[in-house]
Amino acid sequence: MKTSDTLPLPIRDQPGLRAALADANLPTLLMVYSTFTRDRAYLDSFAPFLKGAYAAEAPMAVPATMADDLRNRLFALLTQPEPPVEKPLEPEFLRHMMGVGVGEEVDPGLVPVLYDQMGFDKPVPRKDLPGRRMPPQDFDVLVIGGGMSGIAAGIKLSEAGYFYTIVEKNAELGGTWWENRYPGVGVDTPSHFYSYSFELNPEWSHYHPKGPEIQNYLLGVADKHGVRSNVLFETRVTGATWDDAAAKWHVHLLHGDGTTGEKTVSAVLLAHGVLNRWSMPNIPGLDAFEGTKMHTAGWNPSVDLTGKRVAVIGTGASAAQLVPAIADQVSQLTVFQRSKHWVLSNPDINVGVNDNVRFALRNIPHYKEWFRFRVYWFTGDGLYGNVKMEADWPNKDVSISAQNDAARTYALQYINTKLADRPELIEKIVPDYPIFGKRIVLDAEGGWLDTLVKPNVTLETRAIDHIDRNAVVLNDGTRVEVDVIALATGFEITKVAGNLDIVGKGGCRIQEDWGEDNPYSYLGVMAPGYPNFFFVLGPNSAPNHAAGVNMVIEAQINWMVETLDQMVAENAHKVEPTMAAYDAWNEKVAAQMSQMIWAHPKAKSYYLNSAGRNIISCPFRLADYWKWTRHPVREDLVLA
């Protein structure tokens, strides 16, 4: 193993180190220790106490004597005057370590993922790779959108020597995290994983930081890499037209002042995000409402909710964060639920990272990388069994696999305990479809369920008929008078290209090829007929089994850069996938999708298009998708 940031040893702040070792995550410390010592017997002595997520056997606490011994050994190792010499780890030993750390077998395919995505391998900037041909000066890339994807794309393109421009509709970078400012906004993937692998941040204040902290992180990374000077702010891309003779895209722009323009570039990356185009509910009379109405993504922080009667429409992840954040401020809060969402407890949601743990993340070599792996596993691929149907699973009506059933039991226990005094609320919220059939709501102390039981909060499950001047009117005629309507109604996710008019080879149009909501692609990154046009989070590439959007984004950007490099190497000007590769990928996706929870007859979600096909989710593990996008497959591409 190549060391990541080689942190200075010995650690001189011995009291700080002692305190850090006392509070740091023990399995992660074991990984650090084993990285240095490669002592398999010692590693294995911990195995009986470390168990996987939803393991049949409950984990046992590591005996205090063993835990203390590990901390003492690490203390000695990290403070000895002559720092330990690191030697490369055998991939098989590394795989074994990973398995002991997370309490279950992991396959060898995860080893390269660990090197790359957990930040162990500090990548050499592509332009410094020996023997690589640099892109020609006139080869430039236009990136649509300056959110998490666009920023990463800019950095990676620049490291590879490509000129790029990011076109961003807002006045600032950050995308989702710039736009979403509703009270309570935050992330429910721990940011020790939900962040760039090339910019690990040991300083997160919380495992699940709030929106502004993530936004600051993104801006910090962007500024460190000089991204801002390549951004055309307050400008929208309205479409792009391919000029086959010139092998260029003419990208049509609409500037903030209403003027239009055009930019001619060699390649385009569509990185406008999936949570970008707000979904405004089609409720009759919404426009007639005379009070304040705001979509969660278009929140106006200057609206004072104190003492107001507020309606929140929707019960997804945004509502579940907004409602607890405003309930104590408003006089009456009515939450309108159209369909049920599973609620799963995550006790870490509001937990701060204490100073001692931050010391460990900052100063103990490999700790932040191994901790990232742990978070990746327990919030990402380790949960894949939740969404993959077991063919002979008996209880198909309520669950799809042993792991899924265990998650269901865990969720039910939580809901039943939290709402023990409110059986009617249990009835209202517990879904009949298997858990993870649509995106879950993560909850913690003082969160969603604790708020729903507050005296000034009502969960309304009767259907909305219409909205009038000052009320939400239900099907049975009940009028719920309100001053403010918060629309937590989500995004137009299935319209992957939004309203962009993308005209490819021979006049083909993405809007026509994909229709309203029927997109297909090759690997989620390109489509035949649209040379040099790349997607981030294109069709069927979102990791909906759990966390990991950060990993997919990086994998796709890497794939694009390597594909551009392939063009440069071959002196080509155009690249697109072959029809055969495109068909093969879509067949593979369809075959796997039929075994996934989203194909369950009771699972209805925004992942499905109007014909019931899941067009959003990647039905494969993150590690597999990462492997398939690691390098372009030459035979799958047509270069000219």
Closest to ligand NAP by CB, 198 or 491: 491
3-class state of residue 239 by DSSP: strand
Buried b (16+ CB within 10 A) or exposed e, 427-463: ebbbbebbbbbbbbbbbbeebbbbbbeeeebebbbee
As measured in angstroms, the least distance from the Cβ of 295 to ligand NAP is 9
CB distance 144 to 160 below 8 Å: no
Closest to ligand NAP by CB, 4 or 321: 321
CB distance 382 to 550 below 8 Å: no
Task: Tell me how far apart the alpha carbons of residues 111 and 89 are, in angstroms, rounded to a whole number.
Answer: 11
Q: How many CA atoms lie within 13 A of 48 on its CB side?
A: 5
Q: Per-residue x/- mask for ligand NAP, residues 84 to 123, rule CB under 6 A?
A: ----------------------------------------
Closest to ligand NAP by CB, 154 or 447: 447
Q: Per-residue x/- mask for ligand NAP, residues 388 to 427, rule CB under 6 A?
A: ----------------------------------------
In this chain, which of 188, 381, 460, 483 binds ligand NAP, going by CB under 6 A?
188
Q: Of 248-277, which residues contact ligand NAP (CB under 6 A)?
A: 275
Identify the bridge partners of residue 575 per DSSP, sorted by sequence position.
639
Q: Of 462-491, which residues contact ligand NAP (CB under 6 A)?
A: 488-491
As measured in angstroms, the least distance from the Cβ of 312 to ligand NAP is 9
Task: Tell me how far apart the alpha carbons of residues 296 and 314 are, in angstroms, rounded to a whole number.
Answer: 10
3-class state of residue 228 by DSSP: helix
List the structure tokens of 315.
């019960």
In this chain, which of 18, 73, 181, 439 binds ligand NAP, going by CB under 6 A?
439
First-residue to last-residue Cα distance in the chain: 39
In this chain, which of 14, 260, 339, 478 binds ligand NAP, going by CB under 6 A?
339
* One-letter amino acid of 623: A
Task: Tell me how far apart the alpha carbons of residues 211 and 193 are, in angstroms, rounded to a whole number.
Answer: 15
As measured in angstroms, the least distance from the Cβ of 431 to ligand NAP is 10
Nearest Cα to 167, choosing from 287, 283, 294, 255? 255
> Binders of ligand NAP: how many residues, by CB under 6 A?
25
**Binding range to ligand NAP, per CB under 6 A, among 87-95, 113-121, 183-191, 558-566:** 183-191
As measured in angstroms, the least distance from the Cβ of 321 to ligand NAP is 6
Task: Tell me how far apart the alpha carbons of residues 9 and 144 are, in angstroms, rounded to a whole number.
Answer: 43
List the structure tokens of 222.
């962007």
Closest to ligand NAP by CB, 4 or 296: 296
As measured in angstroms, the least distance from the Cβ of 362 to ligand NAP is 25
As measured in angstroms, the least distance from the Cβ of 209 to ligand NAP is 11
Closest to ligand NAP by CB, 149 or 532: 149
User: 3-state SS of 316-336?
Assistant: CHHHHHHHHHHCCCCCEEEEE
Task: Tell me how far apart the alpha carbons of residues 345 and 351 are, in angstroms, rounded to a whole number.
Answer: 13
* One-letter amino acid of 556: Q
Closest to ligand NAP by CB, 268 or 441: 441
**Binding range to ligand NAP, per CB under 6 A, among 96-104, 126-134, 332-340, 626-634:** 332-340
Continuous H helices in 396-509: 402-418, 423-429, 448-452
**Binding range to ligand NAP, per CB under 6 A, among 34-42, 186-194, 397-405, 412-420:** 186-194
CA distance to 150, 436, 626, per residue, from 618 (Å): 21, 14, 11
Closest to ligand NAP by CB, 310 or 637: 310
* Displacement of CA 149 from its chain's centroid (Å): 11
In this chain, which of 281, 291, 298, 498 binds ligand NAP, going by CB under 6 A?
281
Q: Per-residue x/- mask for ligand NAP, residues 597 to 626, rule CB under 6 A?
A: ---------x--------------------
Closest to ligand NAP by CB, 49 or 606: 606
Q: Is 187 in the site for ligand NAP (CB under 6 A)?
A: yes
Q: Is 494 in the site for ligand NAP (CB under 6 A)?
A: no
Q: Per-residue x/- mask for ligand NAP, residues 305 to 324, rule CB under 6 A?
A: --------xxxxxxx-x---
Closest to ligand NAP by CB, 163 or 606: 606
**Phi–psi pair at 336, nearest 5 degrees:** -100, 115
CB distance 267 to 141 below 8 Å: yes
* One-letter amino acid of 620: F
Binding site residues, ligand NAP, CB under 6 A: 186-188, 275, 281-283, 296, 313-319, 321, 336, 338-339, 439, 488-491, 606
